Structure 1
Amino acid sequence: MANPFLHGTVHEAGEDLQAAVRSVPGVYELWESLTPLGRNEFICWVEDAKQTATRQRRIERTCEEISEGKKRPCCWAGCIHRTDKAPSRWQQAVLIDRRGKGGSSAD
């Protein structure tokens, strides 16, 4: 039986992300070594994709970045869904920008 998949503090990884992380040699072990907040950031970044193609690219990039030793996704403002802290200025700017564009962002 496979080990239970470790999720983030707020988000749970979708089956496609779980399968990708488990399928790339060494990535699952690195995934397990991330903090729950680190895993949460990667999951949130993948879940934030609006299009299937964007989601797939983010899943592939997640595996690459984890393989490179990154602990958080590159160029991501951070999870805005956490309730344990207020959004940062950067996150607030992203939220305001999205509201001005009808609640969506270009992917």
Structure 2
Amino acid sequence: MTDFLHGTVHETPEDFQAALRSDPAVLTLWENLTPLGRNEFICWVEDAKQPATRQRRIARSREEMLEGKKRPCCWAGCIHRTDKAPSRWQQAVLIDKKAKEGA
């Protein structure tokens, strides 16, 4: 098995790798994504709180790549990157999330 390509911050978890490897066309699309694009998909999958949501996101990631998308649809973006500040939208999401958790 060849080395698996990961993101800039996140490593691809085993369940996501298995889903990507299960279809050669999807694996090729994954390998052709930029490291930042791969990172966004990984972060989106990893951010799921429930196992069912995680499985839906893995399936949707495969579908979106087959549709030609380079990043997950409707995702604020990885907040774990240290090479740039969070966008205004990410900051708003984080503030809203913290406010709800504190309530």
**Fold shared, TM-score > 0.5 on shorter chain:** yes
Aligned to 2:9: 10
The percentage of aligned residue pairs carrying the same residue is 78
Aligned to 1:86: 85
Q: Structure 1 residue 25: deviation in Å?
A: 3.6
Q: Deviations over 1:1-58 (max 9, x none)?
A: x221100000001100000001024000010000000000000000000000000000
State the TM-score, normalized to the length of structure 2.
0.96
Rounded Cα–Cα distance in structure 2 between residues aligned with 1:52 and 1:42: 16
Aligned to 1:29: 28
Rounded Cα–Cα distance in structure 2 between residues aligned with 1:22 and 1:32: 11
State the TM-score, normalized to the length of structure 1.
0.93
Aligned to 1:96: 95
Number of aligned pairs? 102
User: Amino acid of the residue matched to residue 84 of structure 1?
Assistant: D
Deviation larger for 94-103 or 72-81: 94-103
Aligned to 1:51: 50
Rounded Cα–Cα distance in structure 2 between residues aligned with 1:24 and 1:32: 12
Rounded Cα–Cα distance in structure 2 between residues aligned with 1:47 and 1:99: 18
User: Amino acid of the residue matched to residue 39 of structure 2?
Assistant: N
SS of structure 2 residue aligned to 1:6: coil
Deviation larger for 44-53 or 19-28: 19-28
Q: Structure 1 residue 101: deviation in Å?
A: 1.1
Q: Output the aligned Cα RMSD.
A: 0.9
User: Amino acid of the residue matched to residue 31 of structure 2?
Assistant: E
Q: Which runs of 5+ in 2 are unaligned?
A: none
Aligned to 1:20: 19
Rounded Cα–Cα distance in structure 2 between residues aligned with 1:3 and 1:62: 21
